[in-house]
Amino acid sequence: MSKVTEVDIALSILDHQLVDGDGQNCGKVDDLEIAGLDGDSPEVVAILVGGNAWRSRGRLGRLAARLSGNAVHVPWTEVDSVTSVVTLKRPATELRLNRGDEHWASIVGKLPGS
Amino acid sequence: MARKHGLTLAEIGDWKEKFLLGAENALRSKHLDEEALKDEQIKRLQPTPRGRRSSAPSRERWSVSVHLKGALVLGVVVAVFGVGCGGAGKLGVKALSQESKSLQSLAAEGALLAEDAVFGKTTRVYTREHSSDLYNAVSQAEASLKAAKTEPALEPKLRRLAVLAAQVRADLNRLGGASKEEERAIGRELQAAAQESQQISEELK
Amino acid sequence: MSLKNVLAVALGIFAAIGGFVDIGDLVFNTQAGAIFGFQLLWVVVVGVVGIIVYSEMCGRVSAVAKRPVFDLVRERAGFAAGLGTLVASEVVNLMTCAAEIGGVALCLKLLSGLPYRLLIPLAVIGLAVSCWVLPFRWIERVFGYLGLGLLVFVVAAIKLHPDWGQVAHGFVPGSHSGGSLLVYLYFVVGILGTAMSPYEVYFYSSGVVEDRWSLKDLGLNKVTAIIGYALGGTLSMALMIVAALLFLPSGISPQFLGTPALAAEHTVGQVGLLLALVGILFAVGGAAIETSFSGAYNLAQFFGWKWGKKERPAAASRFTLSWLVIFALASLVVITGYDPVKLTEYSVIFSVVALPPTYLPILLVANDRTYMGASVNGKLANFFGVLYFIVIVAIAVAAIPLMLLTHGGQG
């Protein structure tokens, strides 16, 4: 029953904002990885962020997934608290999140005053 | 905990149905253990204020409107292209009347501009630019009037409009760089042209 | 109230007035006046009340939940519906931004005489540099204050000595002499659409979070916003009245952005012309910025990126790139040479169609206790919120048919 609690909590945070340990946005809860379906104690293993995490979200999701790289797996143990946002313990960079911003910063950073 | 396989949202939905059915039985036998585990969960995570409400039903409701929106967008695109590609052909009474109203509008606006120029209410740049915009519009109208065909009864009116359009175009062309005296004369001519266009559309009623 | 507060409110009101009008308001209100005289003035009032109702809700949501409304759309409605709303609003944002940029270029042309196609990239670069360099609130202030040149239209309306009794009649809906019922309804839809543009409420909502306003800060701003929008609405009315007095009798059908300026110069002289052109330039320019930022906010908030002018551009690089790309794409649309006035008409009608999916989340979230706590909608907010939502759905359904049946208001 407690596993139902955990997974139910997890399901209700789908599409919610992820915030890292420094209070910065770092994506949305795009999908969840749940293990132990066959058994009677399934467990949320990880939050999937970005990339091909949208595979399960309908046709547009699949198209978006194909254009993106791999999703980032954030282990459930990294979650600090769950309110209307999901707060993580560590900064985004340590969890390989917000790579998009880092990637494009190389271009945007070339402009003066950035 | 060994990972067996990652699950998609759709599979989760199915799983949830099955699991919740079995949950009641599980609850009875595992009561004490669950309490302990639950306490640990609560320490680790604060549950969302919304509790455990599933958002699946509302998503189904919303997905219908997404399809409707898609159909609407498609329909709009088709319709817009259909309207945009409206054919040119014989001008009827209504079309001719619209042409004369349009010419009246351009001539009247030109007259207003000329009048303001005479009284020094405008700037050189604005007079030149705005009269040039009006000029372009009248040129287009004149070209389409010249190329247009209509029924024999309306031929005279069509010709009058075409001649009038040519006059207005010439006047607007001169307005850009005109002196005060010329501006006054142009203003009067444009005013007269506007009135004649109005006359024509009255006759067409 | 301290002097500092009064000053802040007054300045805020001025910025809101100057920023209220965009190219859609200019086009639709002027054309409406030239065809129907004063008979559509009541629609402006309905539109202003509508935007006040939904801005208040949006602002309250953002101040309490500490997140903008669009941020909550995906949580509330799911990925598919959220993406649908995102795509619809981005398409409309792009069209509107293009129309506004075209308007800026046209204004610059009327002021400088430089070629239109050269002025388009100049306009975009000018707008982009302003956004890059100025802090968030300063963008709103600069463009808002300079947009106050539009007040010349209020002066013009008064100087033309209308029959104020007849003007008053315009606030009661009913007659539609001067045009068919269909054309009348087309303008009802258009005027409401341009008064209640979705990008305005989403920009406002993100702005509240950008400035980290609490409910207390919001209280002061509510007064500013309400008075600002109401007075901004008088600018729209002035445009209509002036067109009714100057264009309707002569049969002038306004089809150029320069036409309203003609009315200002005729009544107030050369100074009037310059005030009108500068006012239009900055009001429309400010709107171009709002639409491009609104588009960037929506994208970033759907995907969960870092966003906001408060971040250094390179820190929130995807957000920064978004508004730059929107400016670039919009200018490409304009550089094709498509008439900005016609583009405006299409963008307003399409944004009307997009009104229900963009306004519904606001109403739903404002009623959601889990985000709002004790600040959920009261009976008054819900009464007007639901009433206006019904109106929005009605005009959204009627918009495209009316546009097609009336050939874009030409009858």
Sketch the domain layout of chain A as residue ranges.
2-108
Mean pLDDT of chain A, nearest integer: 82
Task: Provide the shortest C-alpha distance from residue A94 to chain B (in Å).
Answer: 21
Interface test with C, best of A14, A15, A97 (most C CBs within 10 A): A15
Q: For residue C22, what pLDDT is reported?
A: 94
ipTM surpassing 0.95 = no
Q: What is the average per-residue pLDDT within C231-255?
A: 96
Which of C67, C320, C323 is the mutation pick for testing A, counting most A CBs within 10 A? Answer: C320
Q: How far apart are CA C201 and CA C52, in angstroms?
A: 9
pLDDT for position A100? 86
User: How distant, in Å, are the alpha carbons of C200, C204, C320, C352, C390 from that of C360?
Assistant: 15, 16, 28, 13, 10
Q: Are C253 and B99 in contact (CB under 8 A)?
A: no
All chains having 3 or more CB pairs closer than 8 angstroms to chain C: A, B
Evaluate whether C253 touches C34 at the Cβ level (below 8 Å).
yes
Judged by a CB distance cut-off of 8 A, whether residue C327 touches chain A is: no
Q: Do A38 and B4 touch (CB under 8 A)?
A: yes
The CA distance from C149 to C274, in Å, is 8
Counting residues of chain A whose pLDDT is more than 90, the rounded percentage is 19
In the predicted model, is pLDDT for residue A10 greater than 80? no
Point out the least confidently predicted range of A12-26, C102-116, C243-257, C387-401. A12-26
- Whether B19 has a pLDDT exceeding 60, the answer reads no
What pLDDT, on a 0 to 100 scale, did the predictor assign at position B17? 47
Top-confidence residue, B176 or B37: B176
Class of domain B91-203: mainly alpha
Torsion of CA C17, C20, C24, C26, to 10 degrees: 0
Q: Is there a contact between B65 and B155 (Cβ–Cβ < 8 Å)?
A: no
| pLDDT over threshold 90, residue B55 | no
CA–CA gap between residue C252 and residue C259 (Å, rounded): 9
Number of H helices, E strands in chain C: 18, 0
A2-108 has CATH 2.30.30.240 classification: yes
Question: pLDDT confidence of B150, banded at 50, 70, 90?
Answer: confident
CB-CB under 8 Å, A61 with C306: no
* pLDDT for the residue C248: 96
Q: How far apart are CA C274 and CA C265, in angstroms?
A: 8
Q: Which residue has the higher pLDDT, A109 or C184?
A: C184
**Using CB atoms, which chains have 3+ pairs under 8 A with A?**
B, C
- The position carrying tokens 């409400």 is B53
Any C CB within 8 A of B101 CB = yes
Q: Yes or no: say if C120 and C97 are a contact pair by the CB < 8 Å rule.
A: no
Among B62, B80, B125, select the one facing C111 at the smallest CB separation. B125
The answer to whether residues A72 and A49 touch, using CB atoms and an 8 Å cutoff, is yes
pLDDT at B26 exceeding the cut of 50: no
| pLDDT of residue B41 exceeding 50 | no
Q: Is C23 helix (H, G, I), strand (E, B) or coil?
A: helix
Q: What is the largest CA-CA distance in chain A?
A: 58
| Cα separation values, C318 from A20, C44, C75, C299, C323, Å | 17, 38, 21, 9, 9
Query: What percent of chain C is modeled with pLDDT above 70?
Result: 100
Q: Which residues contact A88 (CB under 8 A, 6 or more apart)?
A: A18, A19, A20, A21, A26, A74, A78, A79, A80, A95
Distance from CA of C371 to the nearest CA of A (A): 8
What number is the average pLDDT over the span C242-252? Answer: 96
Domain with CATH 1.20.120 in chain B: 91-203
Count of CB atoms situated within 10 Å of the CB of C47: 24
**Does C181 contact chain A (CB < 8 Å)?**
no
Mean pLDDT of chain B: 73
Residue type, B18: K
- What is the arrangement of strands in the sheet containing A25-28, beginning at the earlier edge strand? A25-28, A17-19, A86-88, A79-82
SS3 of residue C40 by DSSP: coil
Chain B residue with the nearest C-alpha to that of C112:
B125
The CATH code of domain C15-405 reads 1.20.1740.10
- The b-or-e profile of C288-327 (16+ CB within 10 A means b, else e) is bbbbbbbbbbbbbbbbbbbbbbebebbbbbbbbbbbbebb
Q: Is the confidence at residue B32, as pLDDT, over 90?
A: no
Q: Please, which residues bridge with residue A25 across strands? A: A19
B interface residues, A as partner, C-beta within 8 Å: 1-12, 15-16, 19-20, 22-23, 26-27, 30, 34, 37-38, 40-41, 44-55, 63
Contact: C313, A58; criterion CB under 8 Å: no
CA dihedral B175, B179, B185, B188 (to 10 degrees): 50
Name the residue in chain B with its Cα closest to that of C266. B116
Chain B environment of A62 (Cβ under 8 Å): none
